[in-house]
């Protein structure tokens, strides 16, 4: 089945630093990638939608200058958390799909970010 690789799986960083999370589709072309945040015992919350070659569309309340998303190719999207603060500590998950084929979303295994 389709595989999405997300890296790193866990990262601890100091307050004020930036962290980059990568999301790769390994065996299909991802026209669209989604980035989610999930707090403990809560549902996934969509942060932004990115279509390859276009600027990401951010959900209300998500700061685009803080959460930089790049989707420059059909197999790679990155999320950079800039100037991270402890309240940014969360579980970040990406998903990818090829909207041309209406394929289901395939998810990465998530990145647990801890900001100290």
Partner 1 sequence: LAKTTQPISMDSYEGQEVNITCSHNNIATNDYITWYQQFPSQGPRFIIQGYKTKVTNEVASLFIPADRKSSTLSLPRVSLSDTAVYYCLVGDGDSNYQLIWGAGTKLIIKP
Site for partner 1, rule CB under 8 A: 1, 4, 6, 32, 34, 43-44, 46, 49, 91, 93-95, 99, 102, 104-110, 112
Find all residues with CB under 8 Å of 94, minimum gap 6, and list them: 4, 6, 21, 23, 33, 34, 35, 36, 77, 79, 107, 108
Asked whether the beta carbons of 89 and 15 are under 8 A apart, the reply is no
**Residue placing its CB nearer to partner 1 in the complex, 7 or 16:** 7
Q: Supply the minimum distance, in Å, between the C-beta of residue 16 and partner 1.
A: 26
Nearer to partner 1, 30 or 94 (CB): 94
Closest separation between CB of residue 113 and partner 1, Å? 12
Contact (CB, 8 A) for 16 and 83:
yes
Least CB distance from residue 109 to partner 1, whole Å?
A: 5
């Amino acid at each position: 089945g389709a595989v999405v690789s997300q890296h790193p799986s866990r990262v601890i960083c100091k307050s004020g630093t930036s962290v980059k999370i990568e999301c790769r589709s390994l065996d299909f072309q991802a026209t669209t990638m989604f980035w989610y945040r999930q707090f403990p015992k809560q549902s996934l919350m969509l942060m932004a939608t990115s279509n390859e070659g276009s600027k990401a569309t951010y959900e209300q309340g998500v700061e685009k200058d803080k959460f930089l998303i790049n989707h420059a190719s059909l197999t790679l999207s990155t999320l950079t958390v800039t100037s991270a603060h402890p309240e940014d500590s969360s579980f970040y998950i990406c998903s990818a799909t090829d909207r041309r084929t209406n394929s289901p979303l395939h998810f990465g295994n998530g990145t647990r970010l801890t900001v100290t």
